[in-house]
Each structure stands twice: as structure tokens, then as C-alpha cells.
Structure 1
Amino acid sequence: MEGATSNSPAVLVKAPIRVAAICGSLRKGSCNRGLIRAAIEISSKSIDGMIIEYTDISSLPFLNTDLEVDGTYPPEVEAFRDKIRRADGILFASPEYNYSVSGPLKNAIDWGSRPPNVWADKAAALVSAAGGSGGNRQQYHIRQIGVFLDLHFINKPEFFLRRPLAPPQKCDRDGNLIDEEIREKLKEVLLSLYAFTLRLQGKSK
């Protein structure tokens, strides 16, 4: 065949890693949802080989095993589980509710854990925007849950966005991240998740 020889080197096309981004707040103006929008923008512009897709959990019913019929789940749950199954990594962005995980996020985690567990052996990262704590307590609770789920979280850098009551604000009233220093810290988290995902898959950076 013209242009090809037996000595031609093989060309390997590296597929991008896909990250499912999940927000633990259902509020449209949530700063945590803004963190996901910023992460999508950052990855598309400056992290070659990483695609982040927002994964909506607002339509998921409350977990009820009565809804499971012959090993199948409601359509919304099946669609959610399929998105997690196809993802290489997970990005959680969530507020802190009563020192712990938000109800919507815990519900989504529980649906994904139903057999077969779609979270297993995936890399994951945590970011959060909350009041005085920045959401650190709920992050540690998610890490505990992740032990059972066989999720593998990056350890550094940690990302806790403490939202001040007085200016300067880190997010605008629509939840968009407007602080450039925070954007750089978010990028560091994404780069760490990217590198760790490749390591878990046995691929070089």
C-alpha cells in the first residue's frame, strides 16, 4: 500500500479520559455548580486529554429497592449509572449539610452502589464551597463512603472554598467562580485527578 512499509512505526492514539462531574446542590445559583462549570472550562482550554461532563442528579428518585425490578432500575437511575460506568474518573463538588454529605449527593452515591457497583476502581476528586469550614467535614465523610465503594480519591491538593459573608466574594450571585486565584487552585486539583487516573489505568502521563 502506497506510503506504508513494514518498518513504519505504530501510531498510538491516546483516548481522552472522561470525568463525570456531580454537584451535591440542586440550587441553580450554587457556587458548587459554578465550580463544575469552571472545571469544564479549564479542562477544555488548558488540559489536553481530559473531558469533564456535568452529570445531573436532580431527577433521581429517592432510593427505594421496591423500584428495582428483575435487576433493572428506573430509567433515570439507569441513565445515571451508565454515565458513571462509562466515566474514567469522578469530580464531586458539594456543599456541607449539617456537618455531612448533602441528601441529593448521598442518594446518588447510593443508587450508583447498587449491584453492580458502578463506582468501583475509579479515580475521584473532591471540591467544595461552603460557609466557615469550606465543606471539609462532608469531604471526609465522602472519603469514608468511598472506602466501601472502592473509589480512589486523590489526597492532594485539597480544595475547600470558604465563602465569606462580606466582599470580596469568590462567586457571583449566579454561582460563577470569579476569583482567578481560586481558579488556579481548581486547575491543580484537575491536573492531579488527570495524572492519578492515568496511573490507575496503567498509562504514563
Structure 2
Amino acid sequence: MSAWPDDLTVAPIREWPGELTRVRQRSPFRAGLDDTLDVLEREIYQLTDTYAQRKSAQMLIAVPIGAMWRLDGRPRANAIAEHPGVIFSIESKHGHLSYPCDTFTTWQDNLRAIALALEALRKVDRYGVTKRGEQYRGFLAIEATAASAGFDTAQTAAEFLARLTDDELVIPIGPNVARILLQRAQRRTHPDLGGDAATFQRVSLAEAKLREAGLL
């Protein structure tokens, strides 16, 4: 099972920014998804100064909710996408960054391209060429869009999960309560187990908010 970064929220793409690439390339990459995720996790830490910034990391992929998603809300390593485009965004120490890529024929290769691009941009600072992360400026204005809106607070996220599981919510919310609510909601709503895809996506967004609040 691929080790997805804990700080990364993964969701389906609602809208691609601009036109999709018509003629894509076969990638030169040889490394697998696990190695890509290791690189991406390292770059998330390098791009951020705070816990909240790390928790803002988001990857959007054109894999519809269903059997190609794991119970933990991550796409399977062999998931087939409607198109291979990937968007990675993060609230970094340099500001909001967003990187769309659909150059290559698979989403796995496009995710690797983004991870390696982040690594290459960071190395510019290593040699003193830039002082304030100027190499990231070109990626500040691109906006990524997700399948549905998230939650304003951890409490609203937990309340949503409690309604799904018919549980009485205990306030203040602790890590044990949050974890149990999430696990029950995932089992009840996962499409592989007879649940609704749209509701399962909302569960994933609730998970992201609870993680952001340090409850998972």
C-alpha cells in the first residue's frame, strides 16, 4: 500500500484550469508511486513553516469516487483517471501555490513531475540565486478547484460525521472521538460498501479538517 503523506488531502478534480493537453508525452520516469510520495512529502515540509500550512496541502485528481479509492480516502496506486491531469496546491511560506500538470499519459507520472519540479525549484535557493522564494512567483495565481466545499471548523466536520453515524457528539471533541466517528462514517459511506460517492467525498473533506485541527 502506497504511503500517502498524512498532511495531504486528496480529492477529485471538479474543473481543470484551462484546456487539457491534447498530445501527451510518455514520461522518462522510472521510479514508482511510493518514491514519488516520499519526494512530495519532503517538499511539503520544505515549503511550509507551520502545521496549518502543511495541512493545507491538496492534490486533485480526475478519479471519480468509487472502487478506485481506498477506505482511507486515497486513490489506489493503479486507479484509472478520466484524464491524467493532477493539481497540487498548498498555502506555503511563499503564499498560495498551485501546480497543474497533464503533460504525461498517467496521473502517477504527472504527480511525479510536480514533485520533482518542487524539488528543483527549492534547489535554486540552495545556491543563493534567490532570497525570498522568487522562483515560485509564477505559480501564485493558478487556482485549483475541488469537488465540493470543505468545512469551516473541526466541530462542523465532526457534527457532519456524527449525523452520518447516528452518534451523539461529545463536546469538546477529542482525538479518540474524532477517530471513531471518522472510521464509522468511512465504513457507512464508502461506495465499495454500498455507500454514496458524493457523501464519501464529504467524509474525506471532514477528515481533512479534523487533521488540520490536530484531532487525527
- Shorter chain as normaliser: what TM range? under 0.3
Bigger helix fraction: 2
Task: With the length of structure 2 as denominator, give the TM-score of the two structures.
Answer: 0.25
Bigger radius of gyration among the two: 1
